[in-house]
Structure 1
Amino acid sequence: MKKLAIVVSHPIQYYSPWFKYLSNTAGLAIKVFYLWDFGVTKQVDFGFKQEIQWDIPLLSGYDYEFAPNISSQPGTHNFWGLQNPSLISQIQSFHPEAVLLMIYNYASIYRLLWGWNQRQIPLLFRGDSHRLLASKGVKALVKREFITQIYRRFAACLYVGKANYDYFRYHRVAEKQLFFSPHTVDNERFLAQADIVDHQAQTWKQELGIPADHAVILFAGKLEDKKRPLDLLTAFLSANIPQTSLLFVGAGPLEAEIKNTVAGHSNIYLAPFQNQTLMPRTYGAADVFVLPSYGTGETWGLAINEAMCLGRPVIVSDHVGCSQDLVHNEHNGLIFRAGDISALTHSLQAALSNRERLQKWGENSRKIVGNYTYAQATQGLMEALEYVKL
């Protein structure tokens, strides 16, 4: 079997099932090298502002190894948060025939990029950045040239969607070096619970005090600036949609401000952070899921995949990375201009004006996301490996 090393910052709930899939179906001997143990040990998440440890298995079904991290402030929130001096030697001990990087903008990865003989063992990269909010000026040009030089270290790149493809091309990655490996989640885990989440969701909504006859607009994630939950809150108050509630699920820096607003208005609810096993029920409580992010920080928005797996229509801003791929306007949801609260208000009103159509949009969501699977992600990886002669 061909040996592939994969370098990831830490165990991630979206990636671990893919690694298991690769080990069982792709005909590859993979080994994942982790640079930090967040997710499998209880640590503070800088976005949620609380201790997190995922409650689903992230290290089963595939071979892995942790590279000791000597950073005084370990994490992915800063460049120096991943410092793993033994990484190169650990990878070399595995004797891979190719190395796939899932990250690059950290101290350990730069050390690997400049210290690795890519002519002997090719490097691949899978990224999800985009330029949906394009920077301009001299600083932007300098950054473009720097990133272009980084990408020249890779023999092939895997892109997760249309905006990410455009990002690679902007940085002069040749079209022949690009392979489609879409962002996906563990679809099967969500689909397997589709028949039971409705009952669980109804019970949960009753516990939260949401009226039984109300449609629910859901935001679930980190309550932070880049995701713009306050835009959604303002839009909901302006929309004045009858028999409709707004539910925020999560935690983060904006939690106190949202709580203060919720206290002064009816039909707005705030639930705490929900761990992975409770996420199907969380999406099940929604009639429509909304992600109003602004800027380049929402590189894809995997919560959209999850919501669509459970047959939920979605409303996203045009800065959400998956907007060009997963959201078909007026077919399974709506796309609005990021930061435009008036446009978001109109989108909420339009979506909730026809409940029967909204349900149809949800059915379409499930069909669309059915094409974004680990099998499809693996196909792109295998094509890239074939291109680099592995």
Structure 2
Amino acid sequence: MTKRLAIICTHPIQYYAPVFQLLANQVQLKVFYTSGEQSSYNYDKGFDRTIEWDLPLLNGYDHIFLKNNAKSPGTHHFTGIVNPDLIKQVSNFEPNGILIYGWAWRGHLEAMRFFKGKVPIYFRGDSTLLNEKGLIKTLLRKIFLKWVYKNVDTAFYVGTNNKAYYKAFGLVEEQLIFAPHAIDNCRFGADETEEARKIRTNLKVGENDIIILFAGKLVPVKNPFLLLEAFIELDLTNVHLLFVGNGELEESLKSRVQGLKNTQILRQAQDDNVKNSIHFMDFQNQTQMPAVYQACDLFCLPSQSETWGLSVNEAMACGKAILTSDKVGCSIDLVDHQNGFIFKSEDKEDLKQKIIALTLDKTKLKKMGENSLEKIKKWSFEVQSHIISQYVNR
């Protein structure tokens, strides 16, 4: 018999909605969005702008936007989501199971505690142990998180680092089910488009040149400055660096590039070469991003901390080689010497050496991209939704 599954999630997210659409064909599904009115999810703090995603995120599944009574609504703090009707609304749905995305909001944690022991509680998150710091703080956090996860019956973990996190806080092997973190592989994996060729043409990038791409929020935790400084120091011929996105570091990054001619470190010829090889594009919406990835040759995510890094999935689905820091959660699962390299976080010299190795031979770089494409096929929405629905309907 098909089971009834309630999903509790903050707001429509481009990486979750397609899974909900698939699940709706496999279980009786209803999604309870907790952050408030539908319009409240358009402002993105990291990009520092209002975003209207250009893909349908509400079609194909039953959903409701719940009232959020928080004094300061938002997903950036625990008391930013307070839902007086959440427990009643979910109870009225009479679910056979509840899948909760994230516990770090008052409304979500209250629901977890209320329904524990009444209905199976499934959990989805992508946290890791990659940035554990401070013995006392870590011990206190461990005590608290063990208490939180006592309210979870089963966690659908996204990858190796996420599984280790759950085990560290009390969940055992029998409670952990692998459901891979994923993006729309088919949409990103389409053949190179005319839009991608236009991007290279507009940037004055030659056919045999190499583009290194950083795509995401220009914020300190993503560490775009480390990549920029490594690129400037390398001064590679026929290699370009493209930043795509917006955020608090945007102006300082652009100022650094504009100021190259005023430095005494590099010769004038080097200044001109480096400056003309660094490019910026504003935030690109979901339908535009495949062309951006297709236009590049190597994708780099140099983050100081990244629980997963779905942009790596996207780049791999577009058949691109990958370079990440060892603080990117997906690296252990998705990146190896067949499709890229992992560098030590904050180590500019290691980053430079990896960039040199990856940009020596464009033919080899292309082969690495083909390996990425083959590897990412198993990390799909279809696989994720199938695993979840099979477990819920068992």
Q: Quick check: 1:39–1:54 contact (8 Å CA) kept in 2? A: no
- What is residue 184 of structure 2 aligned with on the other side? 186
Residues 81-101 of structure 1, C-alpha deviations (whole Å, 9 max, x = no match) = 212111111111111011000
Q: Which of 240, 247, 257 is residue 252 of structure 2 equivalent to?
A: 257
Q: Quick check: 2:81–2:106 contact (8 Å CA) kept in 1? A: yes
Q: Which of 149, 152, 157 is residue 150 of structure 2 equivalent to?
A: 152
Task: State the identity %.
Answer: 39
Rate the CA distance shift 1:14–1:201 in 2: closer, same or farther, 3 A: same
Q: Quick check: 1:11–1:37 contact (8 Å CA) kept in 2? A: no
Q: How does 1:279-298 map to 2 (within 5 A)?
A: 279-295=289-305, 298=306
- What is residue 69 of structure 1 aligned with on the other side? 68
Question: How far did residue 37 of structure 1 move?
Answer: 5.8
Residues 271-291 of structure 1, C-alpha deviations (whole Å, 9 max, x = no match) = 101011100011111110000
Q: Tell me, in whole angstroms, the C-alpha distance in 2 between the residues paired with 1:335 and 1:223.
A: 21
Question: How far did residue 75 of structure 1 move?
Answer: 1.9
Question: How far did residue 135 of structure 1 move?
Answer: 2.3
- What is residue 304 of structure 1 aligned with on the other side? 312
Q: Are residue 219 (structure 1) and residue 229 (structure 2) matched?
A: no
- What is residue 340 of structure 2 aligned with on the other side? 333
- What is residue 238 of structure 1 aligned with on the other side? 233
Q: Tell me, in whole angstroms, the C-alpha distance in 1 between the residues paired with 2:283 and 2:38.
A: 15
Q: Quick check: 2:217–2:246 contact (8 Å CA) kept in 1? A: yes
- What is residue 23 of structure 1 aligned with on the other side? 24
Rate the CA distance shift 1:72–1:214 in 2: closer, same or farther, 3 A: farther
Q: Secondary structure at the match of 2:320?
A: coil
Q: Which amino acid aligns with 2:151?
A: R
Q: Quick check: 1:71–1:81 contact (8 Å CA) kept in 2? A: yes
Question: How far did residue 128 of structure 1 move?
Answer: 0.6
- What is residue 161 of structure 1 aligned with on the other side? 159
Question: How far did residue 376 of structure 1 move?
Answer: 2.1
Give the gaps of 5 or more residues in structure 1: none
Q: Secondary structure at the match of 2:241?
A: strand
Question: How far did residue 320 of structure 1 move?
Answer: 0.5
Question: How far did residue 42 of structure 1 move?
Answer: 7.1
Q: CA RMSD in A?
A: 1.7
Q: Are residue 368 (structure 1) and residue 367 (structure 2) matched?
A: no
Residues 241-283 of structure 1, C-alpha deviations (whole Å, 9 max, x = no match) = 2101100000001001111022232210111010111000111
- What is residue 42 of structure 2 aligned with on the other side? 43
Q: Which of 363, 371, 387 is residue 380 of structure 1 equivalent to?
A: 387
Q: Quick check: 1:184–1:374 contact (8 Å CA) kept in 2? A: yes
Rate the CA distance shift 1:216–1:37 in 2: closer, same or farther, 3 A: farther
Question: How far did residue 107 of structure 1 move?
Answer: 1.3
Rate the CA distance shift 1:40–1:180 in 2: closer, same or farther, 3 A: farther
TM-score by length of 2: 0.92
- What is residue 14 of structure 1 aligned with on the other side? 15
Question: How far did residue 375 of structure 1 move?
Answer: 2.7
Residues 112-132 of structure 1, C-alpha deviations (whole Å, 9 max, x = no match) = 12333x222111101110012
- What is residue 135 of structure 1 aligned with on the other side? 133
Q: Quick check: 1:206–1:212 contact (8 Å CA) kept in 2? A: no
- What is residue 349 of structure 1 aligned with on the other side? 356
Question: How far did residue 38 of structure 1 move?
Answer: 8.4
Q: Quick check: 2:36–2:67 contact (8 Å CA) kept in 1? A: no
- What is residue 268 of structure 1 aligned with on the other side? 278
Give the gaps of 5 or more residues in structure 2: 261-274
Q: Tell me, in whole angstroms, the C-alpha distance in 2 between the residues paired with 1:211 and 1:83.
A: 53
Question: How far did residue 383 of structure 1 move?
Answer: 5.2
Q: Which amino acid aligns with 2:252?
A: E
Q: Tell me, in whole angstroms, the C-alpha distance in 2 between the residues paired with 1:61 and 1:105.
A: 28
- What is residue 317 of structure 1 aligned with on the other side? 325
Q: Tell me, in whole angstroms, the C-alpha distance in 1 between the residues paired with 2:205 and 2:392.
A: 51
Q: Secondary structure at the match of 2:147?
A: helix
Q: Secondary structure at the match of 1:110?
A: helix
Q: Tell me, in whole angstroms, the C-alpha distance in 2 between the residues paired with 1:37 and 1:353.
A: 51
Q: Tell me, in whole angstroms, the C-alpha distance in 1 between the residues paired with 2:286 and 2:381.
A: 19
Q: Quick check: 1:39–1:52 contact (8 Å CA) kept in 2? A: no
Q: How does 1:81-160 map to 2 (within 5 A)?
A: 81-116=80-115, 118-160=116-158
Q: Quick check: 1:239–1:346 contact (8 Å CA) kept in 2? A: no
- The number of residues matched between the two structures is 378
Q: Tell me, in whole angstroms, the C-alpha distance in 1 between the residues paired with 2:371 and 2:133.
A: 34
Q: Quick check: 2:7–2:30 contact (8 Å CA) kept in 1? A: yes
